[in-house]
Structure 1
Amino acid sequence: MGIESDQVVYEYLSRVGDVAQQRQLPSSTRMRLVNELRGEIDRRRARTPVDSPAAVRRIIARLGTPDEVVTAAGGTPSGGG
């Protein structure tokens, strides 16, 4: 797993954590969400023939935006703005 690919993952997970905190999800829920996403990304990366930042971005795109995954985890959608 490349450093650049890892950076893409860390940025995504950090954003998910930030959105979850803004939505006031409990700390335990935020930690579980980020850990589950990290595991899912790692599993999908292991199945890709080439581990590149572009491949990681495609994996992340299939999982959803940070807003989408936090909403699915029970976070109240933010107001339009």
Structure 2
Amino acid sequence: MGIESDQVVFEYLSRVGDVAQQRQLPSATRMRLVSELRNEIDRHRAKTTVDSPAAVRRILDRLG
């Protein structure tokens, strides 16, 4: 996994965490949400043949 691709994921998860905090979700719920998303992203990345930032963005677009 490349550094640039990882950065795309980190930025996405950071935004998710920020929105969850703005919605006043409890800390444990936010952490679980981010962790589950990270696992899902990693699972999809493991299935792709190319791990580029563009490929990661496509995965994130599908997740929403």
Pairwise TM-score range, normalised by the shorter structure: over 0.9
How far 1:43 sits from its partner (Å)? 0.4
SS at match of 1:49: coil
Larger of the two Rg values belongs to structure: 1
CA deviation profile, 1:24-81 (whole Å, cap 9, x unmatched): 00000000000000000000000001000000000000000xxxxxxxxxxxxxxxxx
Which residues of structure 2 form unaligned runs of 5+? none
Amino acid at match of 1:55: A
How far 1:22 sits from its partner (Å)? 0.3
Amino acid at match of 1:44: H
How far 1:4 sits from its partner (Å)? 0.1
Between the two proteins, the alignment pairs up a number of residues equal to: 64
Percent of aligned pairs with the same amino acid: 86
Structure 1 residue ranges (4+ consecutive) displaced by more than 6 angstroms after TM superposition: none
Which residues of structure 1 form unaligned runs of 5+? 65-81
Root-mean-square deviation (CA, aligned residues, Å) is 0.2
**CA distance in 1 between partners of 2:2 and 2:41 (Å):** 14
Q: How does 1:1-81 map to 2 (within 5 A)?
A: 1-64=1-64
**TM-score, normalization by structure 2:** 0.99
